[in-house]
């Protein structure tokens, strides 16, 4: 293998997919209970770095979430569970992973990979820098994988971060967890019969977001620029914004067709219609919250106005309530 070349009626299916989204939200409710109740956690040590207790607890809870497997094509498998959604490409050149779940799920993750095939892990791609997508970087590198990411993922993993709303603190990642190969705008590779196109998305969820397009199978992994059926988190600390999320979703809508299988960062497997619904929800949320902010309403007053309450039956089943999402939108306008 040349590694440089490797560089509306409700249907039963919809009901099942909706049930999957609810189940995912219930699992996350045990990981971030304060966010789901609409309470933005405060950092434990004002004026200094918060302790790592919240992250340790989140890792422990994520580590217990089951791994669900769905076949996307002859060579591609979607894994959902203890972290952001993972896609596995397995074939003659070995395995390629998109994202790596969370640390305490590593043993079960290894077992699941072995069930897919005995091929070794050769490449892994980070969709962006966040821990629930990169937490096993060191483990996949130790297993023999070369790690690929956007240059801002490398930059952000080397920094200290405190994430708003979900209240988690991160120290810089160790050297053995950092990507070895990075790019600025785009990167293309051939691996196990697939042509894979990676492209940077202008700051949306973070400034490190990329898409991963498996062109032969017509599968697109969007990372956390797409949360399917649930409100999405936006990381303002690393330049995420509601406007960027809308622009990112719009860009991806122009790239896909009605047959494209679209993997969100969180939530069930989606399609173009699902992505359009998510983009339209973001647009609605921005208009409503922007109107409140422009009228002089404070963050607390905007939350109290409940501008997204009517969206909750559809979008409020994930990690964020509408109160928390109003906070996210208001602070990233």
Helices (H), 127-263: 131-134, 137-142, 151-157, 242-255
d(C-alpha 59, C-alpha 62), whole Å: 5
Q: What is the pLDDT of residues 49-106, one digit of tens each?
A: 344 689 999 999 999 999 999 999 999 999 999 999 999 999 999 999 999 999 999 9
pLDDT at 6 over 50: no
Q: What is the pLDDT of residues 272-295, one digit of tens each?
A: 999 999 999 999 999 999 999 999
Q: Which two tokens stand for residue 203?
A: 């700051």
Question: Which has the minimum average pLDDT: 41-45, 65-69, 198-202?
Answer: 41-45
pLDDT at 213 over 90: yes
pLDDT at 270 over 80: yes
The reported pLDDT for the residue numbered 166 is 86
Give the pLDDT band (50/70/90) at residue 15. very low
Q: For the chain, report the end-to-end CA distance as a whole number of angstroms.
A: 46
Q: Based on C-alpha coordinates, what's the Rg of the chain?
A: 19
d(C-alpha 136, C-alpha 114), whole Å: 16
Q: What is the pLDDT of residues 228-261, one digit of tens each?
A: 999 999 999 999 999 999 999 999 999 999 999 9
Q: What is the mean pLDDT of residues 201-222?
A: 98
The reported pLDDT for the residue numbered 52 is 67
DSSP states of 280-333 as a string? Answer: HHHHHHHHHHHHHHHTT--HHHHHHT-TTGGGHHHHTTSS--HHHHHHHHHHH-
Give the pLDDT band (50/70/90) at residue 165. confident
Question: Which has the minimum average pLDDT: 19-28, 45-54, 313-322?
Answer: 19-28
Q: What percent of the chain is modeled with pLDDT above 70?
A: 84
d(C-alpha 17, C-alpha 24), whole Å: 11
Answer yes or no: are the C-beta atoms of 189 and 6 closer than 8 Å. yes
d(C-alpha 116, C-alpha 173), whole Å: 29
The reported pLDDT for the residue numbered 217 is 98
Give the pLDDT band (50/70/90) at residue 43. very low
Answer yes or no: are the C-beta atoms of 79 and 69 closer than 8 Å. yes
Strands 181-183 and 168-170: unpaired
The reported pLDDT for the residue numbered 23 is 36
């Amino acid at each position: 293998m040349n590694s440089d070349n490797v560089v509306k009626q409700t249907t039963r299916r919809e009901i099942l997919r909706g049930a999957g989204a609810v189940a995912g939200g219930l699992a996350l409710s045990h990981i971030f209970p304060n966010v789901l109740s609409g309470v933005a956690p405060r950092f434990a040590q004002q004026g200094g770095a918060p302790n790592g207790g919240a992250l340790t607890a989140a890792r422990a809870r994520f580590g217990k979430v089951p791994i669900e497997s769905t076949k996307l094509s002859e060579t591609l498998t979607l894994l959902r569970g203890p972290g952001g959604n993972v896609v596995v490409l397995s074939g003659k050149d070995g395995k390629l992973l998109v994202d790596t779940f969370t640390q305490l799920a590593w043993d079960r993750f290894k077992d699941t990979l072995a069930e897919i095939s005995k091929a070794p892990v050769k490449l892994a791609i980070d969709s962006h820098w966040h821990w629930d997508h990169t937490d096993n970087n060191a483990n996949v590198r130790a297993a023999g994988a070369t790690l690929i990411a956007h240059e801002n993922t490398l930059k952000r993993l080397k920094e200290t971060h405190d994430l708003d709303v979900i209240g988690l603190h991160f120290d810089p990642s160790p050297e053995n967890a950092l990507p070895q190969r990075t790019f600025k705008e785009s990167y293309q590779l051939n691996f196990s019969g697939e042509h894979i196109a990676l492209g940077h998305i202008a700051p949306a969820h973070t400034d490190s977001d990329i898409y991963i397009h498996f062109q032969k199978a017509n599968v697109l992994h969007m990372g956390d620029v797409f949360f399917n059926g649930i409100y999405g988190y936006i990381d303002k600390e690393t330049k995420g914004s509601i406007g960027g999320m809308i622009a990112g979703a719009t860009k991806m809508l122009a790239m896909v067709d009605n047959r494209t299988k679209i993997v969100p960062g969180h939530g069930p497997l989606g399609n173009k219609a699902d992505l359009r619904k998510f983009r339209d929800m973001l647009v609605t949320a921005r208009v409503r919250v922007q109107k409140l902010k422009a009228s002089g309403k404070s963050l607390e007053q905007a939350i109290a106005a409940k501008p997204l309450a009517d969206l909750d039956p559809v979008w409020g089943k994930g990690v964020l309530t509408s109160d928390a999402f109003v906070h996210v939108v208001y602070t990233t306008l």
